[in-house]
Every structure is written in C-alpha cells, then in structure tokens.
Structure 1
C-alpha cells in the first residue's frame, strides 16, 4: 500500500510539473501553450524503502526536467550516498553490489559506483587544496605505504599525511599527497605545498626518523624544531638488544623519557648507554647516543609541560594510518596513484569527519 501511494504521489507531482512546463494541462486547448505533450516513458526509481515506478513525461518543443526526479536518475540520492558511504567505510565494490541487491532489490555495478565516486573525488580535491586559515604550532607528519601497480610490477609506494594542531587546540588533517618513496624531493614538495596554502607558525614537527623529512623541515621551516617519535626510537634501540636484556633495556629507556628536564634525560641516557656497553650491547648504545638528542626535543623549556606527552610520539597520526590500512587492504594493489590518493583521502575525511 505504501509503495502504491508513493508511486501515485510521484506521478501526480510529475504531471503537475509537466503542466507547468508545457503551459497547459493534459487535453487543454490554450493559446498560451509553450510546448506539447509527447507521451511518457516508464522509469524505475530506487528509494530508501524499495523500487518504485514513475511516469516521466515527454514534451515536444521543450525539454522536460523535473525537480522531483533528475533527468536520467534511477536511484534516490540518499541511496547512492549510502552505497558510497559503505565503500568508503571499507566495503569492497563487489560487496557493495551484493548489499545493494539485498537491500533494494537492484544491483549497483562497480562501474556505476566508480562514476558516482568521481563527484566525491572532486570535493576531495577541493578539501585537499583548501587554504589553511590559522597557525599550526605543532605538526605531525608520516607516510602511509600501500601497494600500487608500477610498470607491470606491484611495488610499495607512500601517501604523505600531515596533521596540525591549530591555535584553537583542535587537530586537523592539513595535507594529503602522493609521496612515492618518501625521499627528500617528495617531502620537500609536500612541505612546500603546505606553505603555499598558508601553513605558518610551526614550532615543532613530529615524525619518524626519515632523512628526507628532516632535511625538508630544516630547509623550508627553519623556525620549527624536529621531534623524533619516541616510540619508533625505542623500537629501533630495542631491535639491537638481545632477548636476554630486552626487559631491562625497555625499563631503562622508559626511565630516560620520564625525566622532567632535557638535561636530566640526556644524563640518564648516557648512563644507560654506558651500562649497555658493559652488557656488550654496543650497537644499541651507539643507536641511543645518536638519536637521543632529537628524541628529547619536546623537553625543551619552549614547550609547555602539559603538551609534552602528546608531542613526543607520532601516535596521533599512527592511529589514523591504521584506519587507512584497514581500508586499503580490501583493495590490494591500486592500479594507479590517483585512485590510491583519492581513496585514502576519502577514508581520512570519513574517519575524521572533516568537511
């Protein structure tokens, strides 16, 4: 009964709009007529509830365009939005097709879904290239690796992501771009694009130990200091520790980063490195001495004590990367860089709720 009534209402609305376009009702003789009716055609329109039938009027001498049902549209917009949301949430195109069949009794081929996603991708490009309207004292950067077809082979390439903490205290994804192999040129191009969009006021950049990133920050953001991710640094040191000393080394490293000042942390690190050498862990001691300076930047007096715990790791962006990888694993290998960049950007917007 509901389906019948919805169909009757739709057809009545289409008839009234046809009267408005032609300038006369059906079978009415009028000198002010603008066009003539030329029959109608049947169209199925998929709504939230199920498929409904509609009669689209045809006019001779004018193009019939209705606000009720867009020209050539066969699905209600909310249905298409629901399918796109499923795709961005991690459902493969094949599963979207199956779910569409189960819910609405109509299949949605992958090509149709791809055509609909092009509209979303246009919005994503606008979001990626939007001007940055405020200062971002703290910025976190990292690369998300994925598989991509390249010259007939499948290789690992990256997409670079940056999260900024604005003066209002809120975090925001401020940059997403192709990074290829995360070399110096890729990072330089990425940071340059952020600056051209209005990135200012950066006091600290937190990231993993990537030579290209460190070089780009020193060249393009000379007023910002670099903070090496504490978690990644500890993993690098512990990778050089034998299993017999792993627990001791882990506790010793935690003690270093529990210090209240940078001077105390550096002194503690030297004590731990000396003890490592005594335990014949020379490689671990060398790694600790080389990296402890850039890993304790957050302890400088320039940074408020209440900010330090969040600044010393890249966990903020790592959590986002896990959500991205959860989606890219469904795809496997991307056919090109554009498709990878768009899907990852769409996933970031979906997860973070950015407009």
Structure 2
C-alpha cells in the first residue's frame, strides 16, 4: 500500500504581500526573526491606533480634519499599555471631551489581546503552578503576569465547576465506578494527603460520564452516604452495579442509598493488594492462582479455587488471602455474568485514562497550595480527558442486553 503523504499547507505569495514585505524591510532594520517580531509589534500598535481613529470619526460624525457643529470634539490621547502575543507595547487611545467614546477594537479596561486567559487555563490544566505559568508567560511573551493575576484568572472557572457539580443526571446508570487518587495539599501551613474521589458512570447509551468529583479527608459511611445522596438529588434513581476499591464505609452507604445495587470490588485492586505480601520469586505463580479464582465459571468453582489457594499459600503468606474471604460477598457478583459483561465492570480500568491525567498532576505539582487549587486543576484535567469519551464502551449492545435480563424492569426501554 502506498504511503499517504500529508498535505503541506503552502502560503500563497501574492504581489500585494511581496510589496508589504519590501516596505517592511525598507522601514525597519531587520536582521533576525526577533527584529521581525518587533516590527510586527510596532505595526500592530499603529494599526490599532488607526482603527480607533476611525471609530472616533464614526462616534463624532466627522473626520479629524473636518469642521463640525457637534458640541463634542476630540480631546487628545491617553496612553495605554497592551499585552499581546508579540509582547507589551503602548498605544495612544483617542479621547473626546464628553468621555462618551467607547472603543471596540480594544475596549476600556481591556489590556490584553493575546488570549492569555485561555493560555493560562491550558497551562493550569497540565498541572503547572502559578509561579511556573508566570515565568513561562514572561519568557515567551515578555510581559509580567503575577501569580495573583493567574490565580484570579483560574478562579473564574469556579462558578463553572459549581454548575457542573450540580447539573442534572440521568435517572439510571447501569454501571458506576468510584476510584481515588491522593494528593499533597497545604492547609493551615501543614501539608497533608487529601483524596480526590472520582465517580464515573456508564449511561444507558454505553458512554462514560464523570458524575462528580469530590475532595475528601476522612472516609466513612456518613461521608459516602452524602455523596450518594447528592447523586440522588441530581436525578439518579437507580444504579445496577457499582465497582470500587475497598473504600471505608462505602458498602454500608450503598446499602442505604441504593439497596438494590450490586457492589463489586475492583478485582485488579484486590490482586494488587494481595501481591504486596508476596515475594518476587512466588509472584507469577501466586498471580496465576488468583486469576483462576476471578475467572472461574461460577461462584462455587471460584470458592473451591479460593480454598485451594489458601491451602497452598497460607503457610508462607498467612495474611495474603485474608481479604478475599473477608470481602467474598462483594467479589462474587461477577460470577452471575458472562465474560463480556464481567470485563465491563470487575475492574476500574474503565477510568484508568482519567486517573492517568490526575497522576500527571501529581508529577507536575508535589504540593497544592490549598484544596481549591486542587479542585480547579482536577476539573480542568477532567474536562480535557473526557473530550475523547465520544463512543460507547466495547460490546455495549451485548452488555446492555444481558443487564436487561439480569435486572428486569430497571433499565428504560
């Protein structure tokens, strides 16, 4: 197969453009790319001033050189500093005696034409600190943006976060995942670990959707009941299957808020937690025995394989298998379903791409200055990651069909 060649966009050089370039070289002493940027900055300032002069002509109803009976008239200029993608520069803004002129090309109190707000938000979303963003803007654009200014810019998304956190949700989510990532956050001059809990639902169309994002300190049944009740208050009436790690108090909260929901422990987390107790030399064999348990065709076979694993390994690793027996009631829901359905919910890998975005924040920033800063960064990272969530999960048609049979009258027709 012939390789497809990417089309390269070529700038069409016209006679008019050549004339402009020649004039540019005649007017400015250009010897480098930096000189070109300085020339363009100067031209940008002049162009903006000329556009404002035209706006003033329209405002007054006559041109600068004309006479008029209009009581209002020109009243000199006011110097204004502007930030642009070429750096900082000054412009002269025409004034009128009645102070009624409202320029549109650069409005009053508007001092930035570089789209810097969007750039700041984008850098913050990647986990950069306010100091790093300030230094980057200064290095690239040559003008100062204080850390306080950057914080003010990112604070503008707080109302959007609140709106997003309170938006209405669907009435039924066939599958919901809850997972946690821990971050270091400074509070009252003390750095402590806070957990960011992300709740992701698979909606009736099979698409992933972040339902909520919470920053919490102490896990408890009361804490989780509050989160689950907030989902109910936003319209969620039923959840068929909820998959999570061993979050303290969650099991009791689910039984209260959604008593008919199947609570499934994330098998991958179970395996990881078990293998922490195992020496490297036994890791492969131990992992194979664990796999034999959670891939068993039914619960009876799985329990027999659990007992076999305990007999084989308890002498060397007495604590390793204890959690499997203690959590057997929230491990066993998978055995009711076919392999296709199991792969949809027995692990929180469905949201691993989202967690990867959160972990990048951890690598970028060792400590967040406060919980609000963490919330802003998480929201922006979530928004970026979920842009790709446009298609249903794999085999959703078959999965939904089986769930309809297993949970009769609980999915919409």
- Do these two structures clear the TM 0.5 threshold for a shared fold by scoring above it? yes
Distance across 2 between alignment mates of 1:52 and 1:152 = 40
Which of 358, 371, 376 is equivalent to 1:337? 371
Hey, what does 1:300 align to over in structure 2? 336
Rg: which structure is higher? Answer: 2
Which of 300, 304, 318 is equivalent to 1:267? 304
CA contact (8 A) 1:100 1:107 kept: yes
1:140: Cα distance to partner?
0.7
What are the within-5 Å matches in structure 2 for residues 66-105 of structure 1?
Answer: 66-76=103-113, 78-105=115-142
Distance across 2 between alignment mates of 1:69 and 1:11 = 10
Hey, what does 1:111 align to over in structure 2? 148
Hey, what does 1:200 align to over in structure 2? 237
Distance across 1 between alignment mates of 2:99 and 2:151 = 32
Hey, what does 2:254 align to over in structure 1? 217
User: Is structure 2 residue 55 aligned with structure 1 residue 17?
Assistant: yes
Distance across 1 between alignment mates of 2:187 and 2:319 = 37
Count of residue pairs brought into register by the alignment: 351
User: Is structure 2 residue 357 aligned with structure 1 residue 323?
Assistant: yes
Hey, what does 1:57 align to over in structure 2? 94
Hey, what does 2:285 align to over in structure 1? 248
CA, structure 1 residues 339+94, in 2 after alignment: closer, same or farther (shift >3 Å)? closer
What are the within-5 Å matches in structure 2 for residues 162-181 of structure 1?
Answer: 162-181=199-218
CA, structure 1 residues 4+132, in 2 after alignment: closer, same or farther (shift >3 Å)? same
Q: Please, which runs of 5 or more residues in structure 2 have no aligned partner?
A: 1-23, 25-39, 390-413
CA contact (8 A) 1:266 1:293 kept: no
CA contact (8 A) 1:204 1:224 kept: yes
CA contact (8 A) 2:293 2:302 kept: yes
CA RMSD of aligned residues (A): 2.7
Q: Please, which runs of 5 or more residues in structure 1 have no aligned partner?
A: none
> Per-residue displacement from partner, 1:164-196 (whole Å, max 9, x unpaired)?
111111111110122222222221211111221
> Per-residue displacement from partner, 1:311-330 (whole Å, max 9, x unpaired)?
11122334423422321454
> Per-residue displacement from partner, 1:275-311 (whole Å, max 9, x unpaired)?
334x45433343322223312322323xx64232131
| Secondary structure, counterpart of 2:357 in structure 1 | helix
Hey, what does 1:291 align to over in structure 2? 327
Distance across 2 between alignment mates of 1:140 and 1:28 = 72
User: Is structure 2 residue 291 aligned with structure 1 residue 257?
Assistant: no
1:237: Cα distance to partner?
2.4
CA, structure 1 residues 72+292, in 2 after alignment: closer, same or farther (shift >3 Å)? same
> Per-residue displacement from partner, 1:13-56 (whole Å, max 9, x unpaired)?
222223344454436554566x4433222223333344454322
CA, structure 1 residues 229+63, in 2 after alignment: closer, same or farther (shift >3 Å)? farther
| Secondary structure, counterpart of 2:74 in structure 1 | strand
| Bigger Cα displacement from structure 2, 46-55 vs 184-193 | 46-55
